[in-house]
Amino acid sequence: MGREIRGHRGNSEERDRERRAFGTRVAELRARRGLTQKELAALLGRTTSWLSQVERGIQPVNRIDVLNRLADGLGVSVVELRPDAPPVAEPTEGPVGDDPLNRARLLLSGHPALEALLSRPAQDPPRADPPLAGFREDVEHVWSLAHGDRYAELGAALNSLLPSLERLARTAAKPERAMAYGLLARTYQALSAAFTRRNEADAAWVAADRSIAAAEMSGRVLDVFAGTCRLAHACLRLRRYEQAEHVAQAAVDALGGAGGSGGEAASVPEELSLLGSFHLVLALVHARRGDRPAARRETERARSVARRLGGDRNDFNLEFGPTNVEIQAVAVAVELGDAGEALDTGLRVDASGLSVERRARLALDMGRAHAQLRHVADAVECFLAAEHLAPEMVRGHETARSAIRDRMLVAGRSAPPKLRELAERAGAKC
């Protein structure tokens, strides 16, 4: 990724005219529907300032998902909102093709271990062969699959692991029960993370909630916060920005972070990892609302926490540290439409020490930034790099498919063969 940015940036005067014409169209359609800027912005989950900048031709709308939401809010089709846009196929609700996490989703339905409720309680004396002996390695393996973009294997592993841990947490002798709940909490956190990445936010929400309950039963307080972080990400994926902000800000306050009203500020590494991760959630919330000052403020707070931490870590499988903060800073800049800043930041990042998922996320966001600047070849190169690292993520993640579909929309008939082939594989054709 650390190469010189290539490709021309287009005629700025022409882009300015296009933005002004588009903004005028938005204002006309809004007025036709009888909405104020404040009312339409609320429908979109954005700030009034963002919408005002769109209508004045200052803020571009380059992402297809934002264009779709804006068209929905105005009660028109994308083509009516932007007449030069070709018809766009409706995005699929979930991953294309066979869903490797389908069975895991079924495991979330109903009570997780009804038969265990009818079992006789285990006796307290310790057993000769503790049942938890092999489960720790199983949970670590589940997380390695989640970080490694290996969802088919993850789904298969969870099919046996989750029911076993649910039963064990209810039937184990007391000395083992808390540990069983702790392992169960970490397993549900992995499942929530996987569902979030595959745009299955409703399932991610349920898994996160179960991880929080299991963590509290285990007595591991910080695991409760880790599950809460997964819940905040599920809210983000559902575009429930107010709820995501509430969840993350409550955690920051409790950890005594910047601007918080909680007790002593976080100091041990595990607490700092959690605190910084919640600041990154808040940065994304504000970015998706179009609140640039707030998004930058929370990103800087995350950077400050990362400096206190002193290096990259993987507490609670959050991969928080200076490198991940910069990867998230790229994502925030892309969400705000600051493509040049995103590229400048991303080109300085060495993500080789992080997981496949994090490296693929960076490549994808760099591709989105190039797409915003209409750097066709560079955008395709980044998308292909992301697919090479994490093919299941790119093909099963709606944000990834949306980025590719967005590039196809802009390129139109001039889309290069590599982009067309990638769009075909990812189910992102226009």
Q: At what angle do helices 174-197 and 135-147 cross, to 10 degrees?
A: 10
Confidence of residue 284 (pLDDT cuts 50, 70, 90): very high
The full 3-state SS of 348-374, as one line of letters, equals CCCCCCCCHHHHHHHHHHHHHHHHHCC
Which tens digits make up the pLDDT trace of 212-252? Answer: 999 999 999 999 999 999 999 999 988 889 999 999 999 99
Among the ranges given (57-61, 214-218, 281-285), the one the predictor scored with the smallest mean pLDDT: 57-61
Q: How far apart are CA 339 and CA 62, in angstroms?
A: 10
Averaged pLDDT score across all residues of the chain: 83
What's the rounded mean pLDDT across residues 27-54? 83
- % the chain with pLDDT above 70: 85
> Which pTM was predicted?
0.77
Higher per-residue pLDDT: 160 or 229: 229
Higher per-residue pLDDT: 213 or 40: 213
Higher per-residue pLDDT: 49 or 353: 353
How much is the pLDDT for 353? 93
Enter the tokens of residue 118. 């009818």
What's the rounded mean pLDDT across residues 60-76? 78
Which tens digits make up the pLDDT trace of 350-391? Answer: 999 999 999 999 999 998 898 888 888 898 899 899 989 988
Q: How far apart are CA 154 and CA 95, in angstroms?
A: 15
